[in-house]
Amino acid sequence: MNHKLNINQWAEEDRPREKMERLGPQALSDAELLAILVGSGSSEEDAVSLMKRILNECNNNLNTLGKKSVSDLCQFKGIGPAKAITIMAACELGKRRQLETAEERPDLGTATCIYNHMHPVMQDLDVEEFWVLLMNQNFRLIKKVRIAHGGISEVSVDVRIIMREAVLSNATIIAVCHNHPSGSIRPSRQDDALTETICKACQLMRIHFADHVIVADGIYYSYREEGRL
């Protein structure tokens, strides 16, 4: 009698996909990662056991696995051309990643840096947009998110969305930026009130509020540089 359990019959904490979602990819073995790619094993063994067997034949070395051809991999019971090609594609991506240099994260440690980064995004806008710049502790950009897109003279901003984006991105520093299509960089009373609200929210969340920069074409206003933060 065949007592093999399919992966979907395993305890949830042992299933590769659920384990990755819960703990991250670094918590999975090579066999578990490859099992996620191939999806299924054979009638005699689950995908993880299949990949353990193949890796064992490669001396548990991914570099050796990457040298296998489609026909080599198809010699293993449970591996057909589709699965073999998937394994080869994963190995090739690994090789290409090794050849790439890490993407340089922009340094947004000053208002000038923020302006230079955001001006190309905002210079041709005829309505106001409001963006949050999410940074790590070294003022390197994690990502930027447009929070609002609105009218000619003002835009409605929900501070809760800014804080949510910061938390989800593990940002320790944020800056915000919006444009004035009129060309004037003088802050409005609404700008001042919003800046104060964001500042208080950041203090509550223990996130450093680096700056609020107002962008116009060729000039900017910085609350930080003006001593207002």
pLDDT for res 185: 92
* Rounded CA separation 178/198 (Å): 14
pLDDT for res 4: 56
* DSSP notation for the chain: ---PPPGGGS-GGGSHHHHHHHH-GGGS-HHHHHHHHH----SSS-HHHHHHHHHHHTTT-HHHHHT--HHHHTTSTT--HHHHHHHHHHHHHHHHHHHSPPPPPPB--SHHHHHHHHHHHHTT-SS-EEEEEEE-TTSBEEEEEEEEE--SS-----HHHHHHHHHHTT-SEEEEEEE-TTS--PPPHHHHHHHHHHHHHHHHHT-EEEEEEEEETTEEEETTTTT--
**CATH superfamily, with its number, for domain 111-222:** Cytidine Deaminase, domain 2 (3.40.140.10)
At 61, is the pLDDT very low, low, confident or very high (cuts 50, 70, 90)? very high
Q: What is the dihedral of CA 93, 95, 98, 103, to 10 degrees?
A: -30
Mean pLDDT, rounded, for 84-90: 94
pLDDT for res 149: 87
pLDDT for res 128: 93
In percent, how much of the chain has pLDDT > 90? 68
Whether 124 has a pLDDT exceeding 60, the answer reads yes
17 alpha-carbon distance from chain centroid = 19
* Rounded CA separation 132/179 (Å): 12
At 152, is the pLDDT very low, low, confident or very high (cuts 50, 70, 90)? low
pLDDT for res 7: 60
Query: For residue 127, which amino acid is it?
Result: V
81 alpha-carbon distance from chain centroid = 32
Which tens digits make up the pLDDT trace of 8-52? 655 555 578 888 888 888 889 999 999 999 888 777 888 899 999
Question: How confident is the prediction for the chain on average, in pLDDT?
Answer: 89
Q: Residue 57: which residues within 8 A CB-CB, separation 6 or more?
A: 76
pLDDT for res 80: 93
For residue 42, give both structure tokens: 């054979």
Whether 3 has a pLDDT exceeding 70, the answer reads no
pLDDT for res 70: 93
For residue 77, give both structure tokens: 């019971």
